[in-house]
Amino acid sequence: MVLLSLPGESFPTMQFWKPDKIVHILLFGTQAVLLYIALSLPRPTSPQGMRPLRFAALATVSFGVLSEGYQAVFTNRAADPFDMLANAVGVALFLFIMRMIGTSRMLSFTRRLLRFPASPPSV
């Protein structure tokens, strides 16, 4: 949110596939992956009953769209539809990569890395 709130003059003017859009792809793709991991480690389904991968994608794309609206209303930056597109491309790309790696393999690695219990705790 800090980066999204900075004035537009803080960033150089860019064309579509310049570093600005690459940053959007990396930022929102990483956010989707981290949200997926956060939803998947403690429980098998998200609070809304959706599968965590789908929920992470929808929530992150929604946040990307809303953040552009936020920029238009609360900062001197304009909402850029190409930024929204780059956000969605980042989510799709990272989730595709995650599916290619294997979500169970990635979660298993994350559990070992964080020393998280292998099975969710019973309530």
Q: Per the structure, how many domains does the chain have?
A: 1
| pLDDT class of 8 with cuts at 50, 70, 90 | low
In a domain, 120, yes or no: no
Task: Give me 18's structure tokens.
Answer: 């310049």
pLDDT-derived band of residue 9, with 50, 70 and 90 as boundaries? low
Residue 3 in any domain: the answer is no
Instruction: Report the C-alpha gap between 65 and 8 in whole angstroms.
Output: 17
Which residue, among 114, 102, 87, 99, has the nearest Cα to 31 in the 3D structure? 87
Stated pTM of the model: 0.71
Asked whether residue 5 is domain-assigned, the answer is no
